[in-house]
Structures are given as structure tokens and as C-alpha cells.
Amino acid sequence: MKVLGIVASHRRLGNTEILVKEALMATERDGAEVEIVRWQNYRILPCEGLATCLFGGVGCKLKDVDDHNNLLEMIYQSDGVVFGAPCYIKEATAVVKQFIDRLFILGSQPSRVRGKPAVIIMPYATRGYTQYAFLQPNILLRQLGMKVIDRALVHTQGMNEAVAHPELLERVCGMGKALVNSIRTGDTTYLGEPGICPICHDRIIRIRKDGETVECGTCGITGKVNIEGGKIKVHFSEEQLDWIHSGRSGHAAYEILPSKDYFRKLRPILREGREKYREYLQIDPEPAESTS
Ligand SMILES: Cc1cc2nc3c(=O)[nH]c(=O)nc-3n(C[C@H](O)[C@H](O)[C@H](O)COP(=O)(O)O)c2cc1C
């Protein structure tokens, strides 16, 4: 049984590293083989947006140019993931989003860790300044089809401060134990603090333009808001929940891939129409391939 610890913080021996390592130690005591990686130590280039990974059937163009594919392969070699990222300006660190953008490839090469468990550990410093902390880690693990079985925002600000809080170390240690148990039993029941969305357990609820419908900012499932006993409640329809559970919500398979023929037909019109913009205001320096 292999568990991968991902540290998405640049700080060496910072809180993320300490907390992820504490969780990994617990998994190791329970029999796991462990590995750890710091994403900031690797080169993850921005997605070039050409979508050849989806439509061309040739994989990612940058596959052998940077480390994204190798980092993805590390995840694929694991049975479970301890994902750690600090909260930076209300969200996870930017490297997480950079990694996610390159996951367009999953539309043509499906994830090999579907259904496997993961936990999320996020150190932060300021209460009330963490609104979108779980957003990107949730999106990342959902894109990969992994099941988040537990997650924690861990209040620890100063460099290495986590070591001064035995209760925090105990909390993440428990997450490590739960991860091993989930790998062994296949039970991916969510153990963390309940959220509003029953799928991602997040609390980011958007009000749609109709003024009646709300949606989960992470999963996109829609529902209606009611006030019950003075408390705000969101009811998501069974239909929406079934849609997500059945896996039919695949954005690439149902919305992007079918557009291929449409854009193929449109190509001559687009090629002609774009010429007007080619010579206007040069953007420098411009890599040759991005203008093709
Ligand atoms: C650039 C930067 C931005 C931060 N933004 C936030 C924030 O928005 N909310 C918060 O609660 N903490 C914020 N923090 C504090 C870190 O989340 C916190 O110190 C955390 O323990 C750092 O983990 P690390 O040691 O693994 O890097 C920020 C820290 C830095 C350096």
C-alpha cells in the first residue's frame, strides 16, 4: 500500500511539510509505504490552451518538457494521497491551480486513481481569511476522481509553529490513520466537518442570475435555499445528486469533446477573421507556436 504526501508550500520545514509528514508517519506505522513530493521544486508550465491533449490524441505537448506528467504519475502510483497546501490570500497556493489547468488531459486519458481516497491539510494564519482555501484542492482531487475522506484547516501561522500544537499533530495523525483504513476497506465515507454541499462538503454557494437557484461553486450542482428554524438550508435535488454520482457530469466528455466537428467546420472562417488582429499591437516576447 503506497501513500503519497504532496506539499504545495515552498517553505522548507514549514507547517504544511510538518503536518503532511506527521500524517505520513501515521500511515507508515499502519503499514503504508510512503513517499513525499514538494510541487514547488518542480517545473509545471502553464497549459498552452491548444487542447491537442483532448482532440489530437497525442497526449500533452509539454509531456517531456516539464515535470507535470511525472508528478501526475506519482499520484497514479499511489493508493491514497495526503494533500497539503497553505492558504495564501484566501486560497491554496498558485502551484495547485497551475497543476489543475494541465489536467485537461484527463478528457482523453482518464485518471487512474478514480475512487481512491485522499485527505486535505491546509495550514492558515487568519480566521475569516480562508474563504476559498479548499476550492482548488477539492477541484484537483475531484478532477482526478479521488474521494476526499477528511480535510482540515489548521490554524498555525509562524514558521514551524505546528510543532508547538500537539492537538493539531494529533488531528492530522488521525487523518493518516483514517486514510490507511480507507485504502484497506474501500470505505470512502467522508469523516470531516459537514459542509453545505453533500458532494464536496464545501460552503461556497453562488446565487444564480435567476435569483432563485443556488449552485455549489465547486461541483456546480444546483439547489434551492430555504430558511428553516432561522437557519439557512440548501436543498439539492435528487436528480442533481444522481447526475453527479452516476459520473455523467464529465465536462470534457459531454461538453467539450462533442464540439470538435463544429470547430472543424468553422476553421476557415476563424482563420480569415483572425488576420485583423495579427498585426495590431504586437505582444512581445511571443513564443512562435502560440500564434499558429
Ligand atoms: C503570501 C502569503 C499569503 C498568506 N495568505 C493567507 C490568507 O489569506 N489567509 C490565512 O489565513 N493565512 C495566510 N497566510 C499564512 C499561511 O497560510 C500560514 O502561515 C501557513 O502556516 C503557512 O504554511 P507553510 O509554513 O507551509 O508555508 C499567508 C502567508 C503568506 C506567506
Q: Are 145 and 220 in the same domain?
A: no
**Is residue 21 domain-resident?**
yes
Same domain for 26 and 142: yes
| Pair 232, 100 in one domain | no
- Confidence at residue 291, expressed as pLDDT on a 0 to 100 scale: 42
Instruction: Summarize pLDDT for 237-251 with one digit per residue, the tens.
Output: 888 787 776 665 566
Cα gap 11→17, rounded to integer Å: 8
Residue 253's pLDDT band, with cuts at 50, 70 and 90, is low
Task: For residue 97, give the C-alpha cell.
Answer: 491551480
- Nearest alpha-carbon partner for 202 in 190, 189, 217: 217
**Largest separation between any pair of C-alpha atoms in the chain:** 65
Looking at the fold, whether 136 and 226 belong to one and the same domain comes out as no
277, part of any domain: no
Domain assignment present for 31:
yes
Q: Ligand 1 test: best mutation among 82, 93, 124, most atoms within 8 Å of CB? A: 124
Residue 210 and residue 181 share a domain: no
CATH number, domain of 65, equals: 3.40.50.360
Place of cell 477573421: 273
Over 90: is that where the pLDDT of 288 sits? no
Residues with CB under 6 A from ligand 1: 9, 11, 14-16, 86-90, 123-126, 129-130, 156-157
Domain contains 132: yes
- pTM as predicted: 0.92
User: Do 106 and 222 reside in the same domain of the chain?
Assistant: no
Residues 141 and 220 in one domain: no
Same domain? For 211 and 166 the reply is no
Boundary (domain end) residue, out of 153, 185, 217: 185
At 292 the pLDDT is 41
| pLDDT per residue as tens digits for the range 48-102 | 998 888 877 788 989 999 999 999 999 999 999 999 999 999 999 999 999 999 9
pLDDT of residue 74: 98
Residue 120 domain flag: yes
Mean confidence (pLDDT) of the chain: 92
Q: Are residues 230 and 112 in the same domain?
A: no
Q: Is 11 buried (19+), middle (13-18) or exposed (0-12) by CB count in 10 A?
A: middle
Ligand 1 centroid to Cα of residue 162, in Å, is 13
**Beta partners for 88?**
91
How far is the centre of ligand 1, averaged over its atoms, from the C-alpha of 40 (Å)? 15
Of all protein residues, the one whose alpha carbon is nearest to atom 29 of ligand 1 is: 88
For residue 158, give the ligand 1 atom closest to its CA.
19
Q: Is there a single domain that holds both residue 219 and residue 75?
A: no
Amino acid at 239: E
CA triple 131-250-190, angle to 5 deg: 50
Q: Nearest Cα to 217, choosing from 232, 206, 201?
A: 206
**Residue-range definition of the domain harbouring residue 213:** 205-246
Whether residues 223 and 138 fall in one domain:
no
Q: Which stretch of 15-19, 174-178, 235-239 has the lowest confidence by average pLDDT? A: 235-239
Q: Best mutation site among 16, 126, 135, 163 for ligand 1, i.e. most ligand atoms within 8 A of its Cβ?
A: 126
SS3 per-residue string spanning the chain? CEEEEEECCCCCCCHHHHHHHHHHHHHHHCCCEEEEEEHHHCCCCCCCCCCHHHHCCCCCCCCCCCCHHHHHHHHHCCCEEEEECCEECCEECHHHHHHHHHHHHHHCCCCCCCCCEEEEEEEECCCCCCCECCHHHHHHHHHCCCEEEEEEEEECCCCCHHHHCHHHHHHHHHHHHHHHHHHHHCCCCCCCCCCCCCCCCCCCEEECCCCCEEEECCCCCEEEEEEECCEEEEEECHHHHHHHHCCCCCHHHHHHHHHHHHHHHHHHHHHHHHHHHHCCCCCCCCCHHHHC
Residue 255 lies in a domain: no
The answer to whether residue 257 scores a pLDDT higher than 80 is no
87 CA from centroid of ligand 1 (Å): 5
On whether both 132 and 226 belong to a single domain, the answer is no
In this structure, the residue with its CA closest to atom 30 of ligand 1 is 88
Q: Which residue's C-alpha comes closest to atom 15 of ligand 1?
A: 125
Q: Which ligand 1 atom minimizes the distance to the CA of 84?
A: 26
Has residue 276 been placed in a domain? no
- The answer to the question of residue 271 being in a domain is no
Number of domains, the chain: 2
Residue 120 and residue 144 in contact, taking contact as beta carbons nearer than 8 Å = no
